[in-house]
Chain A
């Protein structure tokens, strides 16, 4: 592979659903030492997580927000060519985890022409692999989370109103507030469990040996991880089978055919 665009994990930072005024609202992970962007992505949270994974493996990347960045030098920068671009000294002179793009002098510039090694390309592809799979999973979890939040919203609101009135009717009562809090907590139980699953996924990627594993072995290990009893996949299936069959969709992301 000579360029990341050849990888099956490649994606463009511009996708069809992005609104025009949001076109440049994305971020890049800039290798401080090489002064090259390795990946552009729109999800700051996921990028922050990837940054942590990389830090753990002693790769130092800074996050650059393109929304506030002068990248006139290449207004069409995308993932296939970002590795050829870096920032002016203002961006790379300090080890800021979030680059300060407010400085007027912070601009996009062409990277020095030193050749990329195979190792560099491997690291970049691994980053694409992690972000690709996490983005798909994040979209799935977001969809389930939004549905769950939406259907519970009227109940939460009802409880809040009830609390207000019962405090008037039964002053000094301690049970009612506790009960309503408890019931509100129970309403959120499925959401909290979903967070637990998401955290398990993140922890897997954090713990994996990013340096010494190939993409294939990382992917296989992840699939195996989801099948471990501790992952509680059956519970996941039962909890989130409606309205979306979340397990079915998880399997589709992982390329696993489900046994019936």
Chain B
């Protein structure tokens, strides 16, 4: 009776076992890689807008304060986007007929709002509140990155829940003096100062990781 299997099957059999393990771990690793890849997180991926608004120009170049446009940021959950009126305060004077600004003038003329594409988009079941973070000394750049270096706005953090929790676990590393909240400069983590600010702002860390803080 001829041999049913060739010799190589002797090596093939144990090899297949190893292969399966490799395949599985590769799958897991791949999954992880995708989830944290810029494709999925959209970190550093500029979002196209009707008007190619440049934070770099307006913030770094002209030195306009964040609050000039994002008026709600200190009082409301929603930082707010500037009304067309706000744009026109300047652009009725300067760059009056720059083709780039045509949509703004259109909106002003027709009364139709500008359609901005969201850059930072949290799920509906997450209730983030800008005002309290600002009040307690979390700087803009902690979440939004160096917008003064962004010609087009892009996410600079994943906004994954684990990322939120990292800070809610140890806020002291991300706190800054009130007067530096809107300042575009990175902070060097400083244990002592952080703890001091924590006490100064009367931040109660115990409930910062409660589900109820963000989910309702």
B partners with A: no
Residues of A at under 8 Å CB distance from B? none
